[in-house]
Amino acid sequence: MANTVQVPAELFRKFLQAGRALDKFHDAFEDFLITHDPTLLRELRQARREHLAGKTRPFEEFEQELSYKSRRR
């Protein structure tokens, strides 16, 4: 038994437009929250300095560490 609903094309376009607007709002709100959290900003700036200084490691190593930690629980 098929369950289908016909939606007018214009209504569907409005739905897609609303979804895109919501995505833009979400991104802007996330940016707002980040820029108004001094602790998070300090941590992000520190992480950026460490990255630029080359204090990185291969992703595979990090992935193995995560895997190890999840198996220990």
pLDDT in tens, 28-70: 999 999 999 999 999 999 999 999 999 999 999 999 988 877 7
Burial class (CB in 10 A: 0-12, 13-18, 19+), 68: exposed
Helix/strand/coil percent split, the chain, to 5: 75, 0, 25
Tell me if the pTM is above 0.85.
no
Q: Is the pLDDT of residue 2 over 90?
A: no
* Cβ–Cβ < 8 Å for 41, 34: yes
Please give the structure tokens belonging to residue 34.
């980040």
- pLDDT over 80 at 72, yes or no: no
- 73 pLDDT above the threshold of 70: no
